[in-house]
Amino acid sequence: MSGIRIDKWLWAARFFKTRSLATDAVGGGKVKLNGAPTKASRDVKIGDRLDIFNGDTRWEVVVRALSEKRGPASEARMLYEETPDSMTAREAEQMRRKFTVEPSADIHGRPTKRDRRQIDRFRT
């Protein structure tokens, strides 16, 4: 096997839960192949470098093996090798999120009537 579609590989390596989510991410510019934006139909080969942005998480990985089938997580980890810079940055981001409360964490949609009254009291 010389190459496999990038969306299939991302799904098999368990970066995305479904193949359609992987296709949307690649089409939306969230995945870069060797530093350049790519299409979902592009083939990924062993030795290629991928930059993957999935929500709040960012990975830089080097492709070590190819697979068209989604298997257990232990096998999926064998498909790639994460760069040391990526590991330290991802762990630092996890620690930051663990100890820092997001300002908008308590906001859920539009303010209620009670919330609006509290906002009005604060303004005056």
Q: What is the pLDDT of residues 14-64, one digit of tens each?
A: 999 999 999 999 999 999 999 899 998 899 999 999 999 988 889 999 999
What are 106's two structure tokens?
A: 């308590």
CA distance 75 to 8: 15
**7 and 28 in contact (C-beta within 8 Å)?**
no
What are 108's two structure tokens?
A: 């859920």
What are 69's two structure tokens?
A: 């089938």
Residue 90 exposure: Cα atoms within 13 Å on the Cβ side: 16
Sign of the Cα torsion 36, 72, 81, 66 reads negative
Q: Which residue ranges form the domains of the chain, and what is each CATH number?
A: 4-99 (3.10.290.10)
- How much is the CA Rg of the chain, to the nearest whole Å? 20
Q: What is the pLDDT of residues 1-19, one digit of tens each?
A: 678 999 999 999 999 999 9
CA distance 41 to 47: 18
Global pTM reads: 0.77
**76 and 62 in contact (C-beta within 8 Å)?**
no
